[in-house]
Structure 1
Amino acid sequence: MATQADDVKREEQITQALSQVEAHASQLKSGDPEARQKLIASARELVTAAETPVETLLWNIWALPTRTTALRIAVDLKIFETAVADNGSPKTNEQLAAPTGASPTLVKRVARACASMKMLDEQAPGVYAANSLTQLLAQPEYAAGIIFTFDMTQVPFANLPTYLKNNKFQNPENGVDGPFQYAHKHEGHAFHFLTAHPEIFQAFHGYVHALRTHRPSWTEMYPVQERLVQGLKTEGDASALIDLGGGVGQTLQDFTKAVPEYNGRLVLQELPEVIGAATAMGVGADNRIELQAYDFFTPQPIKGARAYFMRSVLHDWPDELCRKILANIKDAMEPGYSKILISDCVLADQGASWQHLSLDLYMMAQASSQERTEKEWHKLIESCGLKIAGIYNKGDGNEGLIEVVCE
């Protein structure tokens, strides 16, 4: 039970948090480009200060798990798609249930949960209208994010405490015998699970690309002209920018638009099944992007390339396997010319962003891997006889760009 001293302390915290909200709101109105993110953070601090510890506890153990489940069911019920139909006119429970033949009572229970998350607007009892977030979730690539994150992760997360307890709370570091395999009763890496489940595989690639369009591109952080275009050898392998583990090629496609003056080769290296998916999608049809089946745990076939790019690759693997990937690249590099470009999270040592911390536990459950701090990146890179030439960031919670060289 709260004491008078607790109440006084909470009032002081609320006053302090409120002043931060007001200050950041004023900065936003004045045109400060960084003020919006600061305002979000200070608003969260205000909620935390205003809540009692029990309210905070119940929010985390009641609200958050049920919200994720409600969203996943809403996608299957086509609630968001139906809500935006007919120019987003208000819909009753019965109208939302019609496309799938679902029980209107079930739809009511799910829709009102979505409304509590502001995914829908509740205009009257049992009547809902679309808002801007509904419009977003009605698009397949954003609904795919819900499908992927639920279908791929919820089982491992649910089993993670038991897995860790059974393994005497040791840090997971085996990508083929870890929490994911324990939970899904699956042999092999999580990527093999993805390719064996086409719906989740497609959801993953669609969602990841859509999400990245809302975050700074690596070409916005990194001095591409100075570090890649200038001094580029335009013949053969030396001209190549290689995207290792680049999915179905979205990053290279974006690169051609962002840096059209780069006239070297662009090569997508992926596992055969992913290359097959990229080919089916028409990637490489114009011959600008070359598709090459390749396993980055084997020797790199393209020697002396300008850059070996990896986006969200090394965070999929524990240090031991990252060293094997990096060693294969190092053996192919031309010292003083070739670069390794790593687009991944760089965690702050203290007060890291919630996006980075959430993703760290996500990677533990899915791949027995991790996100890394700047110190951990230096330790990993230098253990391979390589050197970090620079780390570039833009915005809190986004991926950074790490330039690695071989001297």
Structure 2
Amino acid sequence: MDPIANPDLLIQQLKALIANPEVFSTQGTEIIQLSRQAAVALEGPFETFQRLAYSALPLVSARVAQEHNIFQTLVENKDEPTSVAVLAEKTNINPVVLDILLDYLSTQFMVEEVSPQHYKATKLSNILVAPLFIDGVLHFHDNCLPAFNALNYSLAHPTDPRTPFEIGHDSPVDFYTYLESHPIQGAAFHRFMEAQFASLPTWLDVLPFDSEYAASTTPETPTFVDVGGGNGQQCVALQKKYPALQGRIILQDRPAILEKAITPDSVERMPYDYLVEQPVKGARAYYFRQIFHNNNDETCHLILAAHLPALSPSSVILIDDKVLPDAKPATGSVEYTAGLSLAMKAMFNALERREGQWRTLLADAGLEIREIRRYTDFGDSIIVAGRKA
């Protein structure tokens, strides 16, 4: 045996990590990646197949446990073990089925069996009762999982014009239109999207908008047009960052979306379909947040073509989206961004783009990238583009 390879020492170190994970946090990303590689290297063919075959169950079982307040009940009881009988009474799930469910949840460390038929909350239990994770699990289970299931069919039938989402849900409409008639899923999605970015930096942290794009404006100047801006969160953030900002701030989206906007009266609300010519001419900035990653290249070209006639020499297009590196990093957020890109394919027949793909996309549309400013470790960036010189 290689003298460096000491299984007993490795086991001791792993136990120490589990007991005090904060000690290892500075190298956490690399340890997680190596641990996963080690698990795959050690498992036999049967274990590998079982891992793949049941890979959907963590999400499914978490959704069931949230829906039936299993996590909430255990968290409320704190360190006091809760019996299956009590949980069955509170959840109205058959005790035999509930026992199987709890058995599986314990294998995923979402609950802990402290004695036969008695369970308590874990670190994951506490995380999964937070509103962000309740909404996130609901969204991925209810909205995305059927789309993921249809991805293989979609790729095997490339002439089918439907997205995997439309196939998986047997839906005649796209994801966002679907949400309008599914208020529970729609509300969870919008809350999840808003909450997951709440603690992260934003484009306003890296782009001094007032000095670079709003200089010498008057109250009549169209200064900021938020295209497809949803409830207007970015308009509100811009005004908060620059309360003395001069000029018109305009929120554009579908009428049904604008009705739910959170913007003050100082923000104009304008119904608009970004596939038709932009009616606001000569604005300093046309801002798109997470619009292009929801669309394939052909549709992105149509969106950009609809805005080219509106651009003046002082106009820019601001694209707030992920810009993935052309060279994949050895460690870091690759799994997250790769999974997200597959999700974009499943939901919209689109993708998260690499920097080279962005440059090609915009160049083909008659635009050039003037700069890219990244503001998170996950590739979130603001792209500043204008007409080709």
Matches of residues 103-252 of structure 1 in structure 2 within 5 Å? 103-167=94-158, 174=161, 177-229=162-214, 231=215, 233-239=217-223, 241-252=224-235
User: Matched residues in 2 for 1:366 and 1:144: separation?
Assistant: 18
User: Matched residues in 2 for 1:155 and 1:144: separation?
Assistant: 17
Taking structure 1 as reference, are residues 29 and 70 closer, same or farther at Cα in structure 2, changes over 3 Å only? closer
What's 1:23 paired with? none
User: Matched residues in 2 for 1:159 and 1:39: separation?
Assistant: 34
Equivalent position to 2:338, from 357, 380, 405? 357
Residue identity over aligned pairs, in percent, reads 26
What's 1:391 paired with? 372
Q: CA deviation at 1:53?
A: 6.0
User: Matched residues in 2 for 1:213 and 1:121: separation?
Assistant: 31
Counterpart amino acid of residue 181 in structure 1: E
Q: Which runs of 5+ in 1 are unaligned?
A: 1-6, 20-27
Counterpart amino acid of residue 186 in structure 1: S
1:101-140 deviations in Å (ceiling 9; x for gaps): 2223333333443344343444444434345543443233
Matches of residues 49-64 of structure 1 in structure 2 within 5 Å? 49=38, 51-52=40-41, 54=43, 57-58=48-49, 60-64=51-55
Q: CA deviation at 1:197?
A: 1.5
Taking structure 1 as reference, are residues 260 and 81 closer, same or farther at Cα in structure 2, changes over 3 Å only? farther
The farther-off stretch of 343-352 and 377-386 is 343-352
Provide the aligned length of Structure 1 versus Structure 2.
374
Q: CA deviation at 1:363?
A: 1.1
Equivalent position to 1:330, from 286, 308, 313? 308
What's 2:257 paired with? 274
Given that residues 290 and 321 in structure 2 are in contact (C-alpha distance below 8 angstroms), is that contact kept between their aligned partners in structure 1? yes
Counterpart amino acid of residue 41 in structure 2: T
What's 1:309 paired with? 287
Given that residues 205 and 248 in structure 1 are in contact (C-alpha distance below 8 angstroms), is that contact kept between their aligned partners in structure 2? no
What's 2:17 paired with? none
Cα RMSD (Å) of the superposition? 3.5
TM-score scaled by length of structure 1: 0.80
1:293-312 deviations in Å (ceiling 9; x for gaps): 21111121222222211111
Q: Which secondary structure state, in structure 2, belongs to the residue aligned with residue 371 of structure 1?
A: coil
User: Matched residues in 2 for 1:124 and 1:261: separation?
Assistant: 62
- Asked if 1:257 is matched to 2:257, the reply is no
- Asked if 1:343 is matched to 2:320, the reply is yes
User: Matched residues in 1 for 2:50 and 2:266: separation?
Assistant: 50
Taking structure 1 as reference, are residues 256 and 238 closer, same or farther at Cα in structure 2, changes over 3 Å only? closer
- Asked if 1:381 is matched to 2:362, the reply is yes
Higher percent of residues as helix: 1
1:239-288 deviations in Å (ceiling 9; x for gaps): 3x222222223333333434444344333211122223x15xxx13x324
Q: CA deviation at 1:51?
A: 3.8
What's 2:32 paired with? 43
What's 1:24 paired with? none
Taking structure 1 as reference, are residues 133 and 324 closer, same or farther at Cα in structure 2, changes over 3 Å only? same
Q: Which secondary structure state, in structure 1, belongs to the residue aligned with residue 222 of structure 2?
A: helix
Q: CA deviation at 1:146?
A: 0.9
Q: CA deviation at 1:342?
A: 1.0
Q: Which secondary structure state, in structure 2, belongs to the residue aligned with residue 302 of structure 1?
A: coil
Given that residues 77 and 97 in structure 1 are in contact (C-alpha distance below 8 angstroms), is that contact kept between their aligned partners in structure 2? no
Q: CA deviation at 1:68?
A: 1.3
Taking structure 1 as reference, are residues 39 and 225 closer, same or farther at Cα in structure 2, changes over 3 Å only? farther
1:53-92 deviations in Å (ceiling 9; x for gaps): 6458347404532111111212221223333336675433
Counterpart amino acid of residue 82 in structure 2: K
Given that residues 219 and 246 in structure 2 are in contact (C-alpha distance below 8 angstroms), is that contact kept between their aligned partners in structure 1? no
Equivalent position to 2:75, from 77, 84, 91? 84
User: Matched residues in 1 for 2:97 and 2:30: separation?
Assistant: 35
